[in-house]
Amino acid sequence: MVVFGIDPGSTVTGWGVVRKERNRLYYVDSGFIKTTPKTPMGQRLLAIHEGLMGALKRHSFDEVAIEAIFRHKSSESALRLGQARGVALTAAALCGYEPHSYNPSTIKSTVGAHGGADKKAVARMVKMLLNHEAEGPADITDALAIAITHCMRAKAHRLQGTR
C-alpha cells in the first residue's frame, strides 16, 4: 500500500508519500508548498492547489490521507486552515481520491507519540519509523505522520466504512 499524506496550511502545506510492505514502512518522497501571508488568499490557495496537483500527479499511490480540522484559538486561523484543507480535498478529488481524515491526537498516538506531543517528538518518531529524516519544515514530517497513520489504520478504516 502506498499513501499520499497531506498536512494542509495556509502558509505551508506539507505532503509525504509512504509505502507499507509486509508490515514495514518506507519513505518514498515528500515536499511542501510555501506561500506568504502578504499574498492575497486567493493566490495562496491557487498556489497550494497547483503545488498539490503537481505532487499528486508525480506519484503513484493507493490512497490519500489528510489531517482533520481541529479547534483553533482564533476563528480567523481556523478559517484559513479550512480554506487550505478545502483546496487539498479538491486536488485529491480531481485526481480521483476521497481522502481519509485523521485528527492530530490519533496521528500522534499512531506514530508512537503521546496526544500532547510537540512537533519535535512527532518528527523523532517519524524518523525512527521510516529510517529517514525529512528535510524542510515540520509540515513535511506531519504529512508523513498522516500517511503512516493511514498505513497503520487502513484496515480498520475500511471495516468501519462497510458497516
Rounded (10°) angle between helices 41-58 and 75-94: 40
DSSP 18-74: EEEETTEEEEEEEEEEE--TTS-HHHHHHHHHHHHHHHHHH---SEEEEEPP---S-
Residue 7 falls in the annotated catalytic set: yes
Residue 98 falls in the annotated catalytic set: no
Cell numbers at 55, concatenated: 505532487
Residue 21 falls in the annotated catalytic set: no
Catalytic residue chosen out of the listed positions 21, 50, 62, 67:
67
Catalytic residue chosen out of the listed positions 63, 76, 139, 142:
139
Catalytic residue chosen out of the listed positions 7, 21, 50, 76:
7
Active site residues: 7, 67, 139
